[in-house]
Amino acid sequence: MPQFSPAVVMKRELNIELLDNLYLAAVQSIEEAVVNAMVAGEEVPTVRPEGLVCRALNTDRLRAIFAR
């Protein structure tokens, strides 16, 4: 509550020079997680409409795309 707060407040923050590397690491880890999920997918039959198959990604084509 404001009436109990001190008149002077000390502020601490992260070093901005280190945040770029932290952000880059977060982006790279998310990218890897998405690619892992895409590669782990398997072909499954559809429920609606019945009789179709949801195909898994062709990992050879995906590898070629990432090699560019």
> Is residue 27, in this structure, part of any structural domain at all?
yes
Domain that holds residue 36: 15-67
Asked if pLDDT for residue 2 goes beyond 70, the answer is: no
Is 53 part of any domain?
yes
For the segment 20-38, what is each residue's pLDDT rounded down to a tens digit? 888 899 999 999 999 899 8
Structural domain includes residue 51:
yes
Residue 36 lies in a domain: yes
Q: What pLDDT score was predicted for residue 43?
A: 94
Q: What is the count of structural domains for the chain?
A: 1
pLDDT of residue 44: 94
- Band (pLDDT 50/70/90 cuts) for residue 63 is confident
Residue 60 in domain: yes
Chain centroid to Cα 54, Å, comes to 23
Q: What DSSP assignment string belongs to the chain?
A: -GGGS-SS-------HHHHHHHHHHHHHHHHHHHHHHHHH---EE-TTTTT-EEPPP-HHHHHHHHH-
Position 10 in a domain: no
Over 70: is that where the pLDDT of 47 sits? yes
Structural domain includes residue 45: yes
Q: Is residue 6 part of a domain?
A: no
